[in-house]
Amino acid sequence: MGNLGSCSDLRQNQKIERLPLSIRRAWRHEAQRPGGGTGFTRTSYRVDAETVQEPQPSDPAQTRSALDPIGPIRHNDQNTIPVISQDETMPRLLDNPRPTLLAAAERLLKRYGYRRMTVDDLAREAGIGKGTVYLHFDSKEEVALAVVNLWSERVFARLRQIAGEARPPATRLLRLLEARVLGRFDQLGDAPESLHDMLAAIRPALLIQREQLLDAEARIFAEVLREIAPAARRSEPVLFRMARALLTGTNWLLPYYQDPSQRSSRAAVRRQTRDVAVLLVSGAKQVLRKGNQ
């Protein structure tokens, strides 16, 4: 690409290269004009924490061409320059499209799985340009991992609510175990395959992320376990180990690890979770209060 005027920083230039073609054409046109851009004013836009200046014609006259599919065409004194309209396409650059991208990726992962989903599919599903996807995610793998993280964060938000309730700690632990299973079931119970099969192509990265997410979840449980444990048993390693044991005891109920043929109804999963949770919480109380290892 030619001279980008004031955007001399390499990182910024790389982001400009990902912008829609009509904006880049406007940059090139302004750079090639004699006198360094006569007839233009500049308006700054925020693009992924970087300031990008879009050249705009100073002539306020605007017309719409039936041949231009992207919006208004603005005129200057010499040439007609297609520039994306601020009130139509530019909001997709100004606003944060990350939630829209993640929602689109979530639908596509359930519909096609990771291998069949493409960045083109993602951009089309989200209704944005392919370049915008790469402004926020470096790869398809990063998108998929971000969706998995989103699924977990939704569950964690509910778990934090339950952990802060004014109920006995044992009751909260039972509710936490039920919520961690049903929260994931409600998000992935209709998926055509297990999460591990869906994301088999990126399993090494997925397993690393899984451990990090389980650690974060265990810390929520550990805070409630602290209220059950006597003072002598309230060390962080003991509480954390017990919390991880509670998670491990219910992991087999999660849709992450089950094929569609293995999944039960929501009501059946809830009954199973309650039965398992009662045993786990009872055992945790005994270990913490009696000091058994």
User: What are the residue boundaries of the structural domains of the chain, listed by start?
Assistant: 10-94, 98-136, 141-290
C-beta of residue 288 within 8 angstroms of C-beta of residue 225: yes
Residue 104 · residue 126 · CB < 8 Å: yes
CA distance 81 to 194: 50
Distance, in Å, from the CA atom of 237 to the CA atom of 184, rounded to the nearest integer, reads 27
> Residue 159, Cα to own-chain centre: how many angstroms?
19
Which pLDDT tens digits describe the chain residue by residue (293 residues)? 444 444 444 554 555 565 555 555 544 544 454 444 333 333 333 334 344 444 444 444 443 333 333 334 343 444 433 333 334 443 344 367 889 999 999 999 888 888 889 999 999 999 988 888 998 999 999 999 999 999 999 999 999 999 999 999 999 999 999 999 999 999 887 777 767 777 788 888 988 999 999 999 999 999 999 998 887 667 888 899 999 999 999 999 888 766 667 778 889 999 999 999 999 999 999 888 876 55
- The SS3 of residue 125 is helix
* Coil/strand/helix, residue 55: strand
From residue 257, give the alpha-carbon distance in Å to each of 41, 178, 197, 208, 262. 57, 17, 8, 16, 10
pLDDT value of residue 15? 53
CATH number belonging to domain 98-136: 1.10.10.60
Task: Quote the pLDDT of residue 194.
Answer: 67
Residue in this structure with the two tokens 């409630």, named with its chain if needed: 224
Q: Which residues lie below 8 Å from residue 93, measured CB to CB, with a gap of 6+?
A: 19, 45, 47, 132
Q: What angle do CA 150, 154, 157 make, to 5 degrees?
A: 135
Let me know if domain 141-290 sits in CATH 1.10.10.10.
Answer: no
Return the SS3 of 268. helix
